[in-house]
Structure 1
């Protein structure tokens, strides 16, 4: 084998290994936990100190921490994205009787706890980055440890036809803290048949 062929084989091996690594790599457990904790800390600081926080001055004063389930990597799933063929604008009802406009964009299909699920991914009508999605969902823990009106996750598509959904990042809508806020109600197709013991727990008013 001449030098040119050896070099070519070497390059192909490196490319193949890089491809396999990309498909199989997982975050270091400590790095993963730190990432979730940073996001939770960001959420806490926003609610505690931001002028646009839904909390009253009294609530801000009393808030010492948000209540979460322990971080569990089993609730981080890879979902197949199935685009909606005829995308259309949906009017999603809000808790105050008004509506929010979202594009019915795709379905995320995945397996969790031995059950296959299919959730609707929404996209805000004015979303500039078409890789960003909004997931509003209900599950069997609602009213039994989590907010009765469901929870949200902000998603970003990270594959050509796949997306990562991490329920450890599930957070409460503003109306969980302040009933005067108008919050999108999770669509009927986003009712999970299992409890999701991950993410933020209910907030006690």
Structure 2
């Protein structure tokens, strides 16, 4: 019989291994479900300028949908994009699927937010060459593997009212054992200026699984010199 405990090492926060493994099981289930899986996307259409996007059953449409009347639906938008999902998408059968490093209690650490003198908007580049505006909150300072580190923390301005504090980072495993673009981690508030950074929950951007997504690229200053073998690994090509 196996017993899963909340484990804490010196300088680290307690890690609930059982809860972590359950989250990973749920994530895998979502990837196999066409209603929630990024692997179900079969195309991406970008709204550019005033050109409409035509959707219908006729082959002259940019997005073909079976079972519709002959007339076409036109969608006009300023900016943004449309992702088309298919419950029979090949990716739902062949993957790639999420894979993880083994749980490591030493990589769940407490961080202190050193706020920017005044929070300001920061331009973040994406994998498709776009620019997204995010609010730069400051730097999270923490110790990991006996060394001191800091990472820039941001908050996305879309959707409005978003409260998640995000960290986009690279480390010494990037491009080898973990995804080449980098990984993301969300800070957990502990009170006042204290946050938990659980690298066991570091996750890949959706573009690691499908070429149809557009994902923020970690800033140059968010590179850890140490290998962080925790969280998601490189899932392989797509």
- For normalisation by structure 2, the TM-score amounts to 0.69
What does residue 198 of structure 2 align with? 166
Output the CA distance in 2 between the equivalents of 1:98 and 1:89: 16
Structure with a larger share of its residues in helix: 1
Q: Which of 7, 28, 42 is 2:6 aligned to? A: 28
Match for residue 93 of structure 2 among 37, 61, 66: 61
What residue is the counterpart of 1:142 in the other structure?
174
Instruction: Verify: 1:39 aligned to 2:17, yes or no.
Output: no
Identify the match of residue 156 of structure 1 among 174, 184, 188: 188
Deviation, structure 1 residue 62: 3.0
Tell me how far apart the structure 2 counterparts of residues 96 and 64 of structure 1 sit (CA, whole Å).
20
Alignment of structure 1 residues 156-195 onto 2, 5 Å: 156-195=188-227
- The alignment covers a number of residue pairs equal to 178
Aligned equivalents of 1:196, 1:52: Cα separation in 2: 28
**Other structure's SS at 2:90 match:** helix
> For residues 7-38 of structure 1, what are the alpha-carbon distances to aligned partners after superposition, in whole Å with 9 as ceiling and x for unaligned?
xxxxxxxxxxxxxxxxxxxx724980111112
Q: Report the 3-state secondary structure (helix = DSSP H, G, I; strand = E; otherwise coil) of the residue aligned with 1:190.
A: coil
More strand by share: 2
- 1:204 aligns to 2:236 (yes or no): yes
Point out which structure has higher relative CO (alpha carbons under 8 A, 6+ apart).
Answer: 1
Shift >4 Å, 4+ stretches: none
Distance in structure 2 (CA, Å) of the matches to 1:45 and 1:101: 32
Unaligned runs of 5+ in 2: 8-13, 41-88
RMSD across aligned C-alpha pairs, in angstroms? 2.0
TM-score scaled by length of structure 1: 0.80
The structure-2 alpha-carbon separation of the partners of 1:127 and 1:134, relative to structure 1 and needing over 3 Å to count, comes to farther
Question: How far apart, CA to CA, are the structure 2 residues paired with 1:204 and 1:98?
Answer: 24
> Structure 1 CA distance, aligned partners of 2:144 and 2:15?
23
